Structure 1
Amino acid sequence: MVSSDHLNLVYDIKLSSVGPGHVTGSDVVHEPSNMDLAMKLHYLRGVYFFSSEAVQGLTVYRIKEPMFTWLNHYYWTCGRFRRSNSGRPLIKCNDCGVRIIEAKCDKTINEWLEMKDSSLTKLLVSNHIVGPELPFSPLVFLQVTSFQVWRMSLGLSWAHVLGDAFSASDFINMWGQAMANQLPQHPVDLPKSSCFHVGETREPAPTCH
């Protein structure tokens, strides 16, 4: 738990959302696997620190701009949970977007790390959980915190139901490709059974025993 003395270390917090640049469609849904649903109460969270050489002159607008193209490849991460007629949770790919948090800190990254308090990490990455209002609850949070001397951290909160740690790593690495304007031409492949249009005839999802 973060000490009350440290709560003001990160301030000027602003919220916004960014979605895909292309409309996914009104009837596209992503069906998480049974293994994904078994991890629905778990989250993967991490913080990346960037030096002044990497981010000097980089504005929040410049960070957000390539996200529209990046999220075309990860459109299902911008959706919200719904339930099928059978009650099974589905992600409706409605392009509501990932949640962006902008924040500031008056310390340098070196000063931050010298405090040697692991609980402070919670100030650099969202601790939001999915729910209780599922239709309005983002599955991915990205927090951009600006430190002194042109340094920055990027905090990722990834609902495990979207995929494992490798999926989350691929997701954030592709953001780096987007920043360098080196995105692949085609979206990331999903299992054919996981994304479909409402009304399609589909085989039942396999069950775990």
Structure 2
Amino acid sequence: MASQLWCLQLIAKQIHRPVPAMLKQQHHHQVTIHGVKTVVSIHPSQLAIHPVSKLDSILGNFYLHTVIYFDKVPTSSPWEVEREELNFSLAEVLDLFPSVSGRLRVLDNGNLGIKSNDAGIRVVEATCDSSLREWLEAEKDGSNRQQLLPEVRISDYSVSPLLAIQYTLFRGGGLALGLSWCHILADFMSMDLLVKLWGEAHRKQGKLSSRPTSSVDVTSADVQLPQPFAHTNLSIKASELDTRVFHFGSKVVEAITRESGGGGGETEALCAAVWKAVVKAQEQPSSGNSRLCLWSNTNLERNRGYFGNSATAFKFVDAVSPLGQSSVSDVAKAIQLGTRTNGSYKCASSFFANNVLFCNWAANVPVYDDADFGFSKPFYVEFLAAPLFGEGMVTIAPGREGGRSKSVCVSLQSEAMKRLLQESYFGSSSTKPANGVIS
């Protein structure tokens, strides 16, 4: 009876997600949904409004996604028991972050805010009829990854959960933990904090604490928009976006690092190569110099207790020449120039004309170590973004080979994507996986 206070069963019937015909014929892998629950915090939170920053309001409502793979789950107790323990420890963590179980609302002043109303987060329970190894072998192109993520619909943000989670248990004991959350709620770094605390709660590591170390209110920080945005109507308009995932092997990453001059390491090198190619695919002949946007993680490291989207910490740096016409080494130097005065960065963006492109360096998110639930460390993590704003988003994340390879998810307008596929390192030939295998 006690569990009913924090976990409400909503759906208790099996749902079979459709599988692409080719995949079904060759592999017969199928994910079956057995139930959907709503998990809320153990103790009711005081109704509070968390204001949404100006930059978040501009970008609009889109979701970030992470799939964390575990090669085994506990054998000391049935999975049904372990699953309920995971839900209970998640409810404990929600006590620390009431905004996570809230909903977006339009405030009296017309701005967006998150209302902590204990509406809860959605938890999906599913199984897969294949083993984890069989699934990953069939999913090298990522074409069916969506089955491991909870379905979220943002057409009505007033009822959509800000965070949804899916447990997918594979035949033989492997587990995929899929998380989908609204970017207005949190960025990759903050979600990593939630996963870390969730693991601590599940391992019974004592009293939980969000460990706030500063009273700085990042969400209310003022955003100084760069030109031409300062005098532009920033209405969000829908555009036809094409999303593809490129996989760069460790040898290609090493080659790009050498091409960049090697002074800044893989981080600056790969980000510079992606930046240059994407901006070149986007730029119009009349475009001027691009404006780099670097984000320092210095404050976040000091304020580990802050939970939210830290995008308001962006710093804008003018590039010396149009990025699309620059060499990879020149772009890398521009990034290094900005980071020398702004600390190490986790995110980067390029502004040009009236468009915005975000490049999230998710590789620095320590989810490999933080997602520790006591049964096994993750052996593979995927990051994805599903933007619904502006002109696109790029997410760079650790790939296989122990994280030495990189996975790059790119969302661009369809015409820009066609041009991107003509750029170096982004060729569409599946016979040369080192040059980018596209889902």
- TM bin (shorter chain): 0.7 to 0.9
Counterpart in the other structure of 1:199: none
- Give the letter for the 2:74 counterpart: V
> How far apart in 2 are the matches of 1:172 and 1:44?
14
Native 8 Å contact 1:55 1:152 kept in 2: no
Identity of aligned residues (%): 27
- Give the letter for the 2:144 counterpart: L
Within a 5 Å distance, the mapping from 1:135-150 to structure 2 comes to 135-150=158-173
Of residues 29, 32, 35 in structure 2, which corresponds to 1:11? 32
Q: Does 1:23 align with 2:44?
A: yes
Counterpart in the other structure of 1:201: none
Of residues 89, 92, 95 in structure 1, which corresponds to 2:115? 92
Native 8 Å contact 1:174 1:183 kept in 2: no
Within a 5 Å distance, the mapping from 1:1-209 to structure 2 comes to 3-4=20-21, 6=23, 9-26=30-47, 28-52=48-72, 54-56=73-75, 57=77, 58-59=79-80, 60-115=83-138, 116-132=140-156, 134-182=157-205, 184-187=207-210, 189=212, 193=217, 206-209=222-225
- SS of alignment partner, residue 158 of structure 1: strand
Gaps spanning 5+ residues in structure 1: where? 196-203
Change (3 A) 1:102 1:20: same
> How far apart in 1 are the matches of 2:34 and 2:23?
15
> How far apart in 2 are the matches of 1:191 and 1:98?
27
Native 8 Å contact 2:93 2:194 kept in 1: no
Counterpart in the other structure of 1:200: none
Native 8 Å contact 2:36 2:122 kept in 1: yes
> How far apart in 1 are the matches of 2:152 and 2:21?
19
| 1:183 Cα deviation from its structure 2 partner | 5.8
- Give the letter for the 1:118 counterpart: G
More deviation in 41-50 or 4-13?
4-13
Native 8 Å contact 1:55 1:151 kept in 2: no
Change (3 A) 1:184 1:43: farther
Native 8 Å contact 2:152 2:160 kept in 1: no
Counterpart in the other structure of 2:388: none
TM-score of the aligned structures, taking structure 2 as reference length: 0.42
Native 8 Å contact 2:55 2:223 kept in 1: no
- SS of alignment partner, residue 143 of structure 2: helix
> How far apart in 2 are the matches of 1:184 and 1:208?
40
Change (3 A) 1:78 1:4: farther
- SS of alignment partner, residue 55 of structure 1: coil
- SS of alignment partner, residue 49 of structure 1: strand
Change (3 A) 1:205 1:49: closer
- SS of alignment partner, residue 168 of structure 1: helix
> How far apart in 2 are the matches of 1:179 and 1:194?
29
> How far apart in 1 are the matches of 2:206 and 2:158?
30
- SS of alignment partner, residue 119 of structure 1: coil
Rg larger in 1 or in 2? 2
> How far apart in 1 are the matches of 2:119 and 2:211?
19
- Give the letter for the 2:57 counterpart: L
- Give the letter for the 2:61 counterpart: L
Gaps spanning 5+ residues in structure 2: where? 1-17, 226-439
Native 8 Å contact 1:74 1:188 kept in 2: no
CA RMSD of aligned residues (A): 2.6
More deviation in 42-51 or 106-115?
42-51
Native 8 Å contact 1:40 1:159 kept in 2: no
Counterpart in the other structure of 2:335: none
